[in-house]
Structures are given as C-alpha cells and as structure tokens.
Amino acid sequence: MKPIDLRMEGTRQGAIETARNRIIVVMALFTLGFFSLVVKLISVGVFQANGTTYYQTASSSQSALMARADIVDRNGVILATNLKTPSLAISKVDMRASAEELAQEVSEVLPEMEYEDVLAIMNAKGNHRWIKRKLTPKQEYDIRKIGDPGLVTSDSEKRIYPHGRLAAHILGAVDIDNNPKLGVEAYFDEQLSDPAKSEEPLMLSIDIRLQHILNQELTSYMDKFLAKGAAGLVLDVRTGEVLALSSLPDFDPNDLNGPKNLSEMNKVLQGVYELGSGFKTFTIASGLENKVVDLSDGYDATKPVVVGGFTIRDDHPKERWLNIPEIFAYSSNIGTLKLAQDIGVERQKEFFDKLGLFGKSDIEVYEKSGPLLPRQWGPTELATTAYGHGIAVTPLHLATGIAAMVNGGRLIPATLLRKNVSEFTGVTRISSDDESSAHSQVISQETSGIMRNLLHLAVEVGTGKNAKVDGYLIGGKTGTAEKVIKGGGYSHKAVISSFISVFPINDPKYLVFAMLDEPQGIKETFNLRTAGMTAAPMVGDIIRRIGPLMGVSTTKKDEIEYEDLILVSGHER
C-alpha cells in the first residue's frame, strides 16, 4: 500500500506544481502587460507631450491657414474673426433625381430662394454650381436629409464682426469670398490674408469701450436735434492713436454690402467740410508764432467788415475793441480776419501747409479725402479761411492740427494701429509711416502753452461753456458753419455744428471731436442750432463718461494757475 500512496502523492504534487506555474506565468504576463501600458501612458503623457502638441497644432493650423487673421482692439477684444460655415453646390454628374425634383426640395429648405432660381442654377452650363453660400446648421442638416449625392456641402469661412455696426467705418467689410472692400480690412489685406500670419491678430489702436460711448452719445444727440448725420473721434494727442471713431448713419459689415449710399460714408475721413471757428485756433497760433501779435494786442470789432463784397459779422458781437484772448473766447470773425490780414497770405498758407491741411492724411485706410482749397488765395480767401470758411477739410485734419496746438507743438500723424504692443504676444505689428521720421515741430512749446490757455478760456467764459464737466479742466473750440450749396453759395438753413476739445488741458492727453450735420434748434436751446448749444454739450457728455474709464484724475480749479489772460469785459479767468 505504501508505494502506491507515494505514487499518488507524487502525481498530485506534480499537478499542483503545474497549476502554480501556469498561474505564475499568467500573472507575469498580466503584470508585464500592465507595466507596459503604464510605461506607454507615461511616455505619451510626459516625454512625448511636446511632440503631441506639435502635431495637434499642425493639424488645427492646417484649416486655420485658410483663415483670414483676426482683428482686435488695443486690449485684445476681437473685432473681426472667422466662422466656419457650410455652402451648398450642385454636382450634376452625381445627381440621382431630376433637376426639377431637387430644385423643389431645395427651395423648401431654403425659403429665401425661389424654385425657379434654384432650377436655373441647376440647369446652367457646367458641372459645378453654387446654390447658396453660408448655410445655417439647420439648413445644412435638412439638405443632407434629402440624400441626393448631387447636393454637395463644403466648409467655407465667413468673416464676422461680433460688434456689428459699432466699428464698421474703421474695420470695413469683405465680400462673400472674403475679398476686402474698404477699411483696415482692405488696407492691411496682404497681412490679414497671409497664411503664415493667420494666427497673428492685427491689433488696432481702437478701444471698443470708448467706441461704444462715442457711438451712443452721437446717436443720442443726432436724434435729439433731428440731425441728418453725426461723426466723432477720440484721439491720443501724445501718440496720434485713434481710440474711437464713429460716423452716422453707419452700416452693418456682416451683411456683405457695405455702405449703401453717400450718407453712410465715413464722415471723419471722407467727408470734407467747412468746419468754421475751429480754424481760429490755427490763425491765432500763426499770429503768435510769427510774432505778429501778442496777447495784449487787439482789433476793432465794433462793426461788421466788408471784404470782397461780402459783409462779415460776429455771431456773438461785443461791438468794441477785443484783445487776442477775447477774440478767441468770444469767437470773433472780425477780429480773426483782421489778424489774418496782418499775417498775410504767404505766411498763412505756409502755416496751414505745415499742419498738413493741404494734403490727405496718412491714416491706414484707402477711403480718405484731401481738402478742398481755394482756387486762388487773395484778400477774400485770406479773410474767410482765417475763421474756417472757404476751405474744406476732414474732421481728422482739424483734430491732428489741434492736437499739435496743445501737445507742445508736435504734428503727429493719426494712426489706427496700437503703437506699443510689447505686452502682447503673437500679434501683428506693422510700423506706421510716421515712425520712420521725427514728428515735425509746427509751433514752439511756448506758443503751445498759450494755446492751451486760450482753449481753456473758450470753455470757461466763451462759446464752449456748455462743454464744462465737473472735475475736469477742459479746453475747446466751437465751430458753426453754414453748408455750401451745390453750385455755389451758402445755405442759411443748414449748418455743420462741431466742437473740438482737449482734456485735461493742463496736461493734455485726449482730444474729443464731435459734429452734427444739419441739427435743428429745439425748445431747450431756444431754437438755436449753434455748436455751443448742440455740439459742446455732446462733447461734455462724452468726456464725462470716458474720463473715469481712461483713469484721468479729477482736478480742482485752484490746483492750477494760468498765465494772466486779459478779459476787459470783467469775466473771471
């Protein structure tokens, strides 16, 4: 019995050993597989992270390379971008149903298209024809449900402007094939359409927050005074950067049509107007810079003056001698033209030319206008251009000139590009033309200081009183000009009222210009439509809102002392 038991025990022990070995092998294989998976995950997640990112970026960039680069404001807010949208075409060789049957089904999905129009497209010559671009997701879904292989949908890119009309005159628009039509879209088309730069947004100088405020106030006052149009801009006088620019009526760049008529043109850059008394700033600066007068000098403004058969009057007559500060503060046409006569034609023309008033601006759009100058420059033209008649310029011309009057005398070309983008990465920076040469010095710092005082005086005691804002020292000048009638002459029923201001005037930072095209007098203004009643309060409301937003500190009046500016009428400085 014992030998048999030993054999049975040996057999049982061998079976157990074999089972144990098999379990060990399975566990070893499982462990090996598990560790291989762990190693692979670690390798992918850590050691190959850069490589994986590279391939994902390359893959995503492949479609993005077809895109037009974004446009952003100075703070990186998107102003123009791309959205993938499907388009519908017909491929005749792949059609299974008849053209009539497909046209009926497609017109039911696309109610904006008539059956006859769809059928005409399907029956046109050629194998491939576009039926509709930019389908909605539901339209694409319903087209696919038709199930005919002849109906082909393909991805395309639609340029969209998230803020709609808000910055239309700056951005411009593109057509259905993303070809630019106007604005910075057209001016910078080479950069925006460059595949190598498709992921580098173009950064503008515009601040969309200021753009909103400007547009809102222009709309409000345009409605209030029943004006045909309005326009305005906010400019940094230290850099020339345009922070906001608006023109009304505007257009929606998302509808692919752009401006529909002349009233929707860019009034700030394309519109040329006789802007009236804003030019008195230049005439007085010229007289001071050329040492023709000083602040104590004056002219007889007792009665109207006849020049070249035209009788020239003051809108706010004092009927006495006025010194230079009074001529400016009370906006005397008579005093200004007499000063211009002492300056003379050649020196006046030379000064206007130095301010860039004789040519187009360098701002980065194609749709901009040059000035309309007198055909001859005789005694009559010398007198009228001195106070802003007989010479028509764009509001931007006036703004850049006034900026030079207050910023120490430097003429800095306006730009739509942000100048300092060092804090941003991956944005397209295009050098402005003005950076290649020094800014021209058009008046001395001493004359600039005097002009700041005079502009402040015009707001404190002169025609710009309605632009005052508590806490801010503001300088400015009103401009009311009768509109030119087609064929010659002026309309007594239609005016352009404008106000141009700088704040804080003791340390100039920002210029605000606003104008109304043919405002109507209302009861609140005693039926007056002059700039002091219409445009000045509009600019005051704009400054009241943008000042705190731009971090401009408030100032008490007794915190600054101005040079003595003589006002014999007895008004306080």
Sign of torsion, CA 20 24 25 30? Answer: positive
Sign of torsion, CA 71 77 80 85? Answer: positive
Q: What is the dihedral of CA 275, 266, 213, 180, to 10 degrees?
A: -160
Helix (H, G, I), strand (E, B) or coil at 516: strand
In which residue are the tokens 């203004």 written?
Answer: 525
C-alpha distances (whole Å) from 238 to each of 14, 410, 469, 548 are 96, 9, 22, 19
b/e string for 164-192 if b means 16 or more Cβ within 10 A?
ebbbbbbbbbbeeebebbbbbbbbbbeeb
DSSP string of 534-573, one letter each residue: HHHHHHHHHHHHHHHHTTPPP--GGG--PPP---TT----
- Residue 259: is the preceding peptide bond cis (ω within 30°)? no
DSSP string of 126-166, one letter each residue: SSEEEEESS--HHHHHHHHHH--TTEEEEEEEEEE-TTGGG
Longest Cα pair distance anywhere in the chain, in angstroms? 153
Enter the tokens of residue 158.
């639609």
Question: What are the backbone angles phi and psi of residue 495, rounded to the nearest 5°?
Answer: -130, 160
**Beta partners for 80?**
71
Instruction: Tell me how many helices (H) and strands (E) the chain has.
Output: 17, 18
- Best CA proximity match to 463, nearest among 321, 317, 570: 317
Per DSSP, 33 falls in state H
- On whether the CB atoms of residues 331 and 372 are closer than 8 A, the answer is no
Contacts of 507 (CB under 8 A, 6+ apart): none
- On whether the CB atoms of residues 391 and 358 are closer than 8 A, the answer is no
In which residue are the tokens 């040329």 written?
Answer: 272
b/e string for 199-218 if b means 16 or more Cβ within 10 A?
bbbbbbbbbbbbbbbbbebb
Q: Write out the H or E segment, with its range, that includes residue 484.
A: strand 475-484
Cα–Cα distance for residue pair 87/240, rounded to 1 Å: 43
In which residue are the tokens 């053209």 written?
Answer: 99
Q: Indicate which residues carry an active-site annotation.
A: 277
- Best CA proximity match to 351, nearest among 417, 287, 267: 287
DSSP string of 248-296, one letter each residue: ES---GGGS----SGGGS-TTTT--B--GGGGHHHHHHHHHHTTS--TT
Single-letter code of the amino acid located at 110: L
